[in-house]
C-alpha cells in the first residue's frame, strides 16, 4: 500500500462528494507520508464541504506550512474562518491569496463578499469591481455589488448592477429583490412591484417579496391583493408576527 494510492482514491471520492470516504483515505495517506501537503489540503476541503469548519482549519494550516503548497488552500481556510466568525483571519487569507495570485477573481470575490457582510461597502465595491473585471460573466459578483451600492444609497448603480446580474442569470431571484428595493427607494413603484412579482414567479416561497409587495398593495389601497400576500407570508412562516398584525 502506498500514500499515493490512498490519496488518489481519496481524491476520487472527493470529486464525487463522498467526503467521509475521502477523509478516511486521506488520513491513511498522511500516516504513510506525513510530509505530503496535498493530503492535508484535500482533508481541509472535505471537512469544509461537510460543514466541519473547525476541523478544516488545522488541516489547511498544516498544509500551508509546507514549502510546496496549493494556493487554493488559503481560500478554503478563509471560508472556514468566515463560517466560524474569525473574520480578520479570513480577510488575511484572502489578501495573501490575492498577493500570490493577483489575476484570479476568486480571491477578490471572497474578500469583497466578506467586506459586504461586515458592512464595509466601499471596500466591497473595490474588490467586486476587480472580480467582475477578471470574470465578467459571474452573476453573483454583480448581485453582491448591487447590494453594496444599495446600502450606500447609490440606487441607480444598484439597479444597473442587478440588471447585469439578471442578463447573465434570468432566474436570479435575489437580484430582482435588490433591484425592486432600489426602484422603491427612488419612488419608481411600478417597476418595484413588477420585480417583486417576478421574484414570486421564480421563487414561490420567497416571503420577503410577498411581504414587500403586500405593503405596496396596502399603500395603493389594493387591499384584497395585500391580504393574499400577507396570507402567503404566514403560510411560509406561520410565526411571522408582523404579517399577522399587518393582515
Convert the pLDDT of each residue in 26-57 to its tens digit. 999 999 999 989 999 999 999 999 999 999 99
151-171: average pLDDT: 98
Give the model confidence (pLDDT) of 198-207 as tens digits: 999 999 999 9
Residue that has been written with the C-alpha cell 458592512 in this structure:
119
Give the model confidence (pLDDT) of 177-189 as tens digits: 999 999 999 999 9
Q: How many percent of the chain have pLDDT more than 70?
A: 99
pLDDT of residue 245: 63
Helix ranges (DSSP H) in the chain: 3-15, 19-32, 37-49, 53-64, 72-83, 87-100, 105-117, 121-134, 139-151, 155-168, 173-185, 189-202, 207-219, 223-236, 241-246
Using the predicted structure, report yes or no on whether residue 131 has a pLDDT greater than 90. yes
29 with 7: CB under 8 angstroms? yes
Using the predicted structure, report yes or no on whether residue 129 has a pLDDT greater than 90. yes
Q: How many percent of the chain have pLDDT more than 90?
A: 92
Using the predicted structure, report yes or no on whether residue 134 has a pLDDT greater than 70. yes
58-65: average pLDDT: 97
Per-residue burial over 61-89, b = 16 or more CB atoms within 10 Å of its CB, e = otherwise: ebbbeeeebbebbbbbbbbbbbbeebeeb
216-227: average pLDDT: 92
Q: 246 pLDDT band (50/70/90 cuts)?
A: low
Using the predicted structure, report yes or no on whether residue 241 has a pLDDT greater than 90. no
Higher pLDDT, 68 or 191: 191
Amino acid at each position: 500500500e502506498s500514500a499515493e494510492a490512498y490519496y488518489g482514491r481519496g481524491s476520487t471520492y472527493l470529486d464525487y462528494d463522498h467526503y467521509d470516504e475521502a477523509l478516511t483515505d486521506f488520513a491513511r495517506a498522511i500516516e504513510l507520508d506525513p510530509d505530503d501537503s496535498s493530503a492535508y489540503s484535500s482533508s481541509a476541503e472535505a471537512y469544509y464541504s461537510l460543514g466541519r469548519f473547525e476541523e478544516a482549519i488545522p488541516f489547511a494550516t498544516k498544509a500551508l506550512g509546507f514549502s510546496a503548497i496549493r494556493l487554493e488552500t488559503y481560500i478554503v481556510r478563509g471560508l472556514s474562518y468566515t463560517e466560524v466568525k474569525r473574520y480578520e483571519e479570513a480577510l488575511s487569507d484572502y489578501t495573501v491569496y490575492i498577493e500570490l495570485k493577483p489575476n484570479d477573481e476568486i480571491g477578490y470575490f471572497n474578500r469583497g463578499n466578506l467586506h459586504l457582510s461586515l458592512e464595509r461597502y466601499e471596500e466591497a465595491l473595490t474588490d467586486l469591481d476587480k472580480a467582475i473585471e477578471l470574470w465578467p460573466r459571474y452573476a453573483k459578483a454583480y448581485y453582491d455589488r448591487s447590494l453594496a451600492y444599495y446600502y450606500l444609497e447609490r440606487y441607480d448603480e444598484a439597479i444597473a448592477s442587478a440588471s447585469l446580474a439578471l442578463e447573465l442569470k434570468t432566474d436570479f431571484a435575489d437580484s430582482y429583490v435588490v433591484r425592486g428595493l432600489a426602484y422603491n427607494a427612488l419612488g419608481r413603484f411600478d417597476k418595484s412591484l413588477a420585480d417583486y412579482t417576478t421574484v414570486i414567479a421564480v421563487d414561490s416561497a420567497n416571503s420577503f417579496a410577498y411581504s414587500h409587495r403586500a405593503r405596496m398593495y396596502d399603500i395603493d389601497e389594493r387591499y384584497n391583493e395585500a391580504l393574499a400576500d400577507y396570507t402567503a407570508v404566514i403560510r411560509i412562516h406561520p410565526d411571522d408576527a408582523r404579517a399577522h398584525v399587518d393582515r
